[in-house]
A and B are shown apart, each in its own frame.
Chain A
């Protein structure tokens, strides 16, 4: 029997200004009708190129070698007319970031209906009523109210847009759906819903699914088989459960370790790093000590563009002590970033108190500046957190210069050393674009360390980094805490991160802290139903549930 999709020795090369770049080399993949296949890899591994080549959607600068057999027919040599007929009717795509993949000025109903009109079934073209009926049916299938057909994309939430993309992909009852990072940029709970929906629909309608993701646990939850790509090649391809249990290739192992299973003792205080961690210090500050940073009954609100008052932070009590890392967990929009900005004095609070070392933080002037020296910020995306025109030296020296610290050069070298950029001299004259993502984040951390702060506030510090770098940066934060006693407040949507390095967890939901406690208490024995739903949405599940469940 012919396979639904078969890639034979696929190679894709891009012509760029600097010559030819091979994005995909010698890839062989096979998917039977109704089967599900995951393709995993970091950015630049060539996984999206593989996905786009199936419908020949690559940019003109790409040249393809090898065979792409869709139901036995080679896509690479199809005539345009045939290709257009195959597109969407035989195989459709759920694109990454539905935000941009939907036309912003057309109603979603029209966009779903477009392929229906374009690819009429063999029984003849559909009447307008039939098209509308099919659109309504598709919206039902993806659990969207039929009335939303008249909405424009910007009126929908991220999860709703992704549902529209799924409805659109199913419109012509294709035999194959290619999902390219379908849940990236979605919140955990929404991600779980979208994944569940997609899996259910392809299973019900016996559609083959190729899913592309950087997150192995997402693929393991949806696909029978997983292929791991690295540097344009497939380095490992096996059944999901097998691969997750015992990854062979070192790159598969790195990908797997990046998303630790919550509750697994092996990954507690053990982020994936190649350098060993120092032991716990003998003496640690305890609950009796004065917190370094403390918020009491904090309220922050601001007006949105329509002038409506949004209560972003609503009566929060939170303390961070020396020698501990506190993870602040919540979905986007939960107010966690606003809380962090307020703690740093970047946002004004309506009421409540913020204390540093027992003293209220100053409102402005030189005193606020002195306070900011003590509490430093590390941002999510190191690429945009560094001025692209400033060298590493200038970026790290910016803080010491503002505060007029002496011996600038030594401070910078020490900070780079502490952030594990070794030897520091080699990095001084680099510009951000010459560094890897992990190195950039280290520069940002070094810039904070140069001021010898007492607390580091890190806002999603690894969310935009590749899996293999993630563990190293987390290990650095943990090492700084153990060696220097540097307190950390890590804001994240990722419970695995909390399990990896945090001592305590605070769960934020709609501006309020719904649950606070040690990592073990909160993640293994959640009290609030929101915490429970967060844990339930983890694609890999939790170790505890896995053991008690079986």
Chain B
């Protein structure tokens, strides 16, 4: 009797997990996608409010410090639809986005979307390579530092990471420029004198990529390292590591099989969550090295000021970050079985 009472209670405890398997995943993914779409909508609203409402009269803002004749102003007002009701303006802007109409640059008089499209890939290259390297370096150093806690290696690495974390990226960039003194190109992505052919061109781009990438990498690896270190230190007192040691596992196996996979979860999430920060970093680094990406575009538009371009870049960058986050949440679900069924 005793047995049956509790074993069917156990069944009650177990069943819900098993039943939800497939549909649960679909629902989770659906919810997350819907949330991401809502976030992107919020980005668009925010971008609209920022650039249409805050400046007061955007047209007056755009033409300040510039000789403009009344006809130009009238044309601009008409194009922006300033005189229509706010909701209509938003609707026009919103539907425009879906037709690929991000507005027209006030300075270059070209569609904003085209300008963004030209600048997208250099940024992806820079941010992508820096992130991959920073993650690899940060995790590796973080694991070693935590495992050899309080050793010279740990103290030195933590000290270096804390110092680098206090360095403004643009300054590090400037410093590298001065220190390397012409060893690497200081501006842009291509040299006019690079030879033709895919290989030579690729090498030229890589040559240009070194300094911006190192600058970006130096600050971000530090954070990944510190998080990985403290996350692993947190796991180190966990009871299941005592179990693993009791089983007779060698220390490095205890670390590799049990401690690191658990400690990795929060770190991996952080890498994706902090993607917005990497993008922010890229803006300043691109400005320093005149890397022809979205950051450089932002910098130029800021000095225009070219509000439609700023607005377009804001919407694109923010949406990209929202999408990376969506990816992070989906990935986390794959990595951590606890989230999968809970």
- Interchain CB contact under 8 A, A115 and B247: yes
Q: How large is the interface on A (under 10, 10 to 19, 20 to 34, 35 or more residues)?
A: 35 or more
For A159, the chain B residues whose CB sits under 8 A away are 6, 10
A154 within 8 Å of B by Cβ? Answer: yes
Of the listed stretches B12-20, B119-127, B290-298, chain A binds: B12-20
B303 within 8 Å of A by Cβ? Answer: no
Closest to A87 in B: B248
Q: How far is the CA of A87 from the CA of B5 in the complex (A)?
A: 37
- Interchain CB contact under 8 A, B341 and A152: yes
Interface string of A512-536 (1 = CB under 8 A from B): 0000000000000000011011001
For B265, the chain A residues whose CB sits under 8 A away are 105
Q: How large is the interface on B (under 10, 10 to 19, 20 to 34, 35 or more residues)?
A: 35 or more
Interface string of A147-166 (1 = CB under 8 A from B): 00000101111011000000
Quick one: which of B249, B250, B337, B341 has the most chain A CB within 10 A?
B337
- Interchain CB contact under 8 A, A88 and B248: yes
- Interchain CB contact under 8 A, B14 and A97: no
Of the listed stretches A186-194, A351-359, A452-460, chain B binds: A186-194
Would A157 and B247 be within 8 Å (CB), given that A103-B258, A193-B2 are in contact? no
For B246, the chain A residues whose CB sits under 8 A away are 55, 57, 87-88, 92-93
Q: How far is the CA of A536 from the CA of B5 in the complex (A)?
A: 13
Which residues in window 82-126 of B have CB below 8 A to A? Answer: none
Q: How far is the CA of A155 from the CA of B245 in the complex (A)?
A: 24
For A57, the chain B residues whose CB sits under 8 A away are 242, 245-246
Question: Contact check: which of A100, A101, A102, A533 meets B2 at CB < 8 Å?
Answer: A533
- Interchain CB contact under 8 A, A100 and B247: no
Which residues in window 186-207 of A have CB below 8 A to B? Answer: 187, 189-190, 192-193
- Interchain CB contact under 8 A, A105 and B336: yes
Question: Contact check: which of B243, B257, B338 meets A95 at CB < 8 Å?
Answer: B243
Closest to A155 in B: B17
Interface string of B320-342 (1 = CB under 8 A from A): 00000000000000011110011
For A142, the chain B residues whose CB sits under 8 A away are none
Q: How far is the CA of A416 from the CA of B244 in the complex (A)?
A: 48
For B335, the chain A residues whose CB sits under 8 A away are 105
Closest to B261 in A: A105
For A190, the chain B residues whose CB sits under 8 A away are 6
Q: How far is the CA of A200 from the CA of B240 in the complex (A)?
A: 26
Closest to B340 in A: A152
Q: How far is the CB of B23 from chain A (nearest CB, A)?
A: 11
Question: Contact check: which of B16, B250, B338 meets A84 at CB < 8 Å?
Answer: B250
Across the A-B interface, the 9 shortest Cβ-Cβ residue pairs = A87-B248, A100-B239, A152-B337, A84-B248, A533-B2, A103-B240, A157-B13, A115-B247, A101-B239
Measured CB to CB, the residues of A under 8 A from B are: 55, 57, 83-89, 92-93, 95, 97, 100-106, 114-115, 118-119, 152, 154-157, 159-160, 168, 187, 189-190, 192-193, 305-306, 308, 333, 529-530, 532-533, 536-537
